[in-house]
Amino acid sequence: MTLSAVHTRSDAYPTRLPEESWRERQDPVVWGRWTPEAPLTRAQTEAFAETGFLVLENLFTAQEIDRLRDESLRLRSGETGLRPDNVVTEPGSDAVRTIFRLEDESPFFNRVARDARVAGVVQFLLDDALYLHQSRLNYKPGFTGKEFYWHSDFETWHAEDGMARMRAISASILLTDNDALNGPLMLMPGSHRHYISCAGETPEDNHKSSLKQQEVGVPSPDALTRMAERFGIAYGAGKAGTVVLFDCNTMHGSNGNITPFPRSNAFFVYNAWSNRVGAPFAAARPRPAFLSSRDPEAPLDIVAGPIR
Amino acid sequence: MTLSAVHTRSDAYPTRLPEESWRERQDPVVWGRWTPEAPLTRAQTEAFAETGFLVLENLFTAQEIDRLRDESLRLRSGETGLRPDNVVTEPGSDAVRTIFRLEDESPFFNRVARDARVAGVVQFLLDDALYLHQSRLNYKPGFTGKEFYWHSDFETWHAEDGMARMRAISASILLTDNDALNGPLMLMPGSHRHYISCAGETPEDNHKSSLKQQEVGVPSPDALTRMAERFGIAYGAGKAGTVVLFDCNTMHGSNGNITPFPRSNAFFVYNAWSNRVGAPFAAARPRPAFLSSRDPEAPLDIVAGPIR
């Protein structure tokens, strides 16, 4: 693989205009060419291309899953001394809801982010070197977990971070057992082939409110209804240790959770090296670096073998 | 069947005391004796006794289901002239969320309430004449449907309405297709055999806030966690027209709903005639009649045959 040049700055995905519009995707979903040596089966590769997501089970050993959980508890406890601007708390409390820049906060999660079983698969799908555009540890408590409304990540990354092309994939590593009832990640299969250009200008410092409740960069109820009727709604569930990969433009969201069972995951956004971000396409200033890594020094060094 | 006397006023289920406590149920779940002539199979009867709920599919014809939906839309539109004290609106809007006393607001739903396919089954399970303790049409919109927190109906009906014994069953007739993701009724199977006596005194006019957000008569997170770990969480889903019966003491609740698909149901609470309510067991005054029918004139006249 060679490191290709950064794309030119023409805007393939205009958004935040006065009117909402529905456009076609301009980019491949699977950039790599499947061969028998690929880290996914042909059926898995085709399913990802078709639906915009893929659930991978049994990637990690029981010991590795225990360590994933232990390390996430340790980080959330605060004992490791988190950088304040990497932490978001639950509205109305100081319980930790999100820890950003996981690869900087934890050597263990730094290793997880570079694991061949996840990053190697993403590298095959994107056919380029990778870097982390964003990473975070999410914790949605039992009883009071709040919903996260429908959105395409790419729309925000394009408008506010300056990501030119749809050549990024998110990996959510479940740290708790997740089923249909405790607020799982819901996805509209096939929605990733369509781009909803959202209405409305980006307010100054939009990310300060959008992390708790998104208001701009959200499709209209009418567009969401059309999408849901056309594509249906699936969800990514499984035991702790399951990995859900999804394309940067897959429409997704999650319901609140009154069950006693919390939901937690480690979330890594891999962007193609050739797709490194530039000036935002529809915002005055880029979002801060904890949301959008702007100057990666080098592509990720992907590592095979067990995590110790 | 004979109409048995109203129970004496000893309190089998004390609640709203300073400390929460976990007590055993003092009443049968299935009061009738199963015979081959019963309107449920033996397996269905045993499942209801065991789990505290039962999902009945294909009770109604396609035409009847169309009429159920049409009549619910007509009522929610306001064109029939609803009594203001029978209506609850969505917080922050005037969209109709609940219409109480459905049997008074609609001759059609009055007939539905007395249908042998639902009321006849409940009469077998409770082995007594029936009346409606409460009825309502619920509408939970898509995108913004709010959660309804865990509770046992009986705890409130006992404390605030003066219902002496666990001899009441709710029937929820689904008016929209309902699946795991659009805020279905969640139930803890087996929880109905245990009574959580809730901590805290009943405030004056508690029902005015508890209909929107319940605060008293709610088990602690610890009790709910113990119950959920012991019994698990099931949910009542199905196509429009499906009926979910559940015991008055089954712990239940529902999550919010960000999907575009609304959820609506017609809800009838059947109480045994011998279990008619008296003075509240733990409140200064009984709740108003739209929540708790206090002077039923006569038992329900149950009618067999298609609804026209």
| pLDDT at A5 > cutoff 50 | no
Chain A CA closest to residue B251: A259
| pLDDT band (50, 70, 90) for residue A70 | very high
Among the partner residues B150, B180, B259, nearest to A258 by beta-carbon distance: B150
Give which of B177, B257, B259 to mutate to test A binding, by max A Cβ within 10 Å: B259
Q: What's the rounded Cα separation, in Å, for the pair B27 and A183?
A: 35
| pLDDT at A71 > cutoff 80 | yes
Q: What's the rounded Cα separation, in Å, for the pair A247 and A185?
A: 13
User: Could you please report the per-residue DSSP string of A220-257?
Assistant: -HHHHHHHHHHH--EEE-BSTT-EEEEETT--EEE--B
| Model pLDDT for residues A138-168, shown as the tens digit of each residue | 998 899 888 999 999 999 999 999 999 999 9
Predicted local confidence at residue B263, as pLDDT = 93
Predicted local confidence at residue B6, as pLDDT = 42
Cβ-Cβ contacts under 8 Å, B149 against chain A = 258
Predicted local confidence at residue B207, as pLDDT = 79
The Cβ of residue A94 has, within 10 Å, a number of other Cβ atoms equal to 9
Chain A CA closest to residue B228: A260
Q: How far is A81 from chain B (nearest CA, A)?
A: 29
Instruction: For chain B, say whether A221 makes contact (Cβ under 8 Å).
Output: yes
Mean pLDDT of chain B: 93
Question: What percent of chain A shows pLDDT beyond 70?
Answer: 95
Cβ-Cβ contacts under 8 Å, A187 against chain B = none
CB distance B45 to B38 below 8 Å: yes
CB distance A122 to A171 below 8 Å: yes
| pLDDT band (50, 70, 90) for residue B210 | low
Residue burial B212-229, b: 16+ Cβ < 10 Å; e: rest: eebebbbbeeebbbbbbe
In sequence order, the 6+-apart residues with CB closer than 8 A to the CB of A91 are A146, A212
Q: Does A147 sit within 8 Å of B258, measured CB to CB? A: yes
Give which of A144, A178, A227, A255 to mutate to test B binding, by max B Cβ within 10 Å: A255
Cβ-Cβ contacts under 8 Å, B180 against chain A = 180-181, 235
Residue where the block lists tokens 């567009």: A223
Instruction: For chain A, say whether B150 makes contact (Cβ under 8 Å).
Output: yes
Report how far Cα A254 is from the mean position of its chain's Cα atoms. 13
What are the structural domains of chain A?
18-33+47-251 (2.60.120.620)
Q: Which of A225-229, B86-90, B109-113 has the lowest mean pLDDT?
A: B86-90
Q: How far is A16 from chain B (nearest CA, A)?
A: 21
Cβ-Cβ contacts under 8 Å, A141 against chain B = none
Q: What's the rounded Cα separation, in Å, for the pair B9 and A294?
A: 72
| pLDDT band (50, 70, 90) for residue A217 | confident
The Cβ of residue B36 has, within 10 Å, a number of other Cβ atoms equal to 6
Chain B CA closest to residue A253: B258
CB distance A186 to B143 below 8 Å: no
Residue where the block lists tokens 């005194």: B201
The Cβ of residue B129 has, within 10 Å, a number of other Cβ atoms equal to 19
CB distance A288 to A90 below 8 Å: no
Q: What is the mean pLDDT of residues B274-300?
A: 95
| Model pLDDT for residues B1-20, shown as the tens digit of each residue | 344 434 457 899 999 999 99
| pLDDT at B255 > cutoff 60 | yes
Q: Does B229 sit within 8 Å of A260, measured CB to CB? A: yes
> Mind spelling out the 3-state secondary structure of chain B?
CCCCCCCCCCCCCCCCECCCEEEECCCCCCCCCCCCCCCCCHHHHHHHHHHCEEEECCCCCHHHHHHHHHHHHHHHHCCCCCCHHHEEECCCCCCEEEEECHHHHCHHHHHHHCEHHHHHHHHHHHCCCEEEEEEEEEEECCCCECCEEEECHHHHHHHHHCCCCCCEEEEEEECCCECCCCCCEEECCCHHHEEEECECCCCCCHHHHHCCCCCCCCCCHHHHHHHHHHHCCEEECECCCCEEEEECCCCEEECCECCCCCEEEEEEEEEEHHHCCCCCCCCCCCCCCCCCCCCCCCCCCCECCCCC
Size of interface A-B (CB pairs under 8 A): 66
User: Between the CA of residue B200 and those of A126, B11, B16, B17, B216, what are the distances in Å?
Assistant: 58, 17, 5, 6, 7
Tokens of A245: 């990969």
| Strand positions, DSSP E, A2-103 | 21-24, 53-56, 87-89, 96-100
Predicted local confidence at residue B94, as pLDDT = 75
Q: What's the rounded Cα separation, in Å, for the pair A283 and B151?
A: 46
Q: What's the rounded Cα separation, in Å, for the pair B308 and B305?
A: 9
Burial category of B135 from C-beta neighbours within 10 Å (exposed 0-12, middle 13-18, buried 19 and up): buried
Torsion angles phi and psi, residue B208, rounded to 5: -65, -35
| pLDDT band (50, 70, 90) for residue A213 | low
| Model pLDDT for residues A254-293, shown as the tens digit of each residue | 999 999 999 999 999 999 999 999 999 999 999 999 999 9
Among the partner residues A255, A260, A261, nearest to B256 by beta-carbon distance: A255
User: Between the CA of residue B297 and those of A197, B116, B160, B271, B284, what are the distances in Å?
Assistant: 60, 20, 21, 14, 25
CB distance B235 to B183 below 8 Å: no
In sequence order, the 6+-apart residues with CB closer than 8 A to the CB of A103 are A109, A110, A113, A132, A135
Cβ-Cβ contacts under 8 Å, B253 against chain A = 258
CB distance A296 to A276 below 8 Å: yes
The Cβ of residue B102 has, within 10 Å, a number of other Cβ atoms equal to 25
Q: What's the rounded Cα separation, in Å, for the pair A253 and B211?
A: 27
| Model pLDDT for residues B141-151, shown as the tens digit of each residue | 899 888 999 99
Residue where the block lists tokens 């996805």: A187
Cβ-Cβ contacts under 8 Å, A233 against chain B = 181, 259
Predicted local confidence at residue B3, as pLDDT = 41
Quote the pTM value: 0.91
CB distance B240 to B176 below 8 Å: yes
Alpha helices (H) in chain A, listed in sequence order? 42-51, 62-77, 102-105, 107-113, 121-126, 153-156, 206-210, 221-231
Predicted local confidence at residue A188, as pLDDT = 98
Chain B CA closest to residue A262: B225
Predicted local confidence at residue B154, as pLDDT = 98
Q: Does B181 sit within 8 Å of A260, measured CB to CB? A: no
Among the partner residues A149, A224, A260, nearest to B224 by beta-carbon distance: A260
Q: Does B181 sit within 8 Å of A235, measured CB to CB? A: yes
Q: What is the mean pLDDT of residues B125-143?
A: 96
Instruction: For chain B, say whether A220 makes contact (Cβ under 8 Å).
Output: no
How many CA atoms are closer than 13 Å to the CA of A272, on its beta-carbon side?
28
Q: Does B258 sit within 8 Å of A143, measured CB to CB? A: no
What single-letter amino acid sits at B219? P
CB distance A271 to A128 below 8 Å: no
What single-letter amino acid sits at B190? G
Tokens of B124: 């077998």
| pLDDT at B268 > cutoff 90 | yes
Cβ-Cβ contacts under 8 Å, B258 against chain A = 147-150, 186, 253-255
| pLDDT band (50, 70, 90) for residue A58 | very high
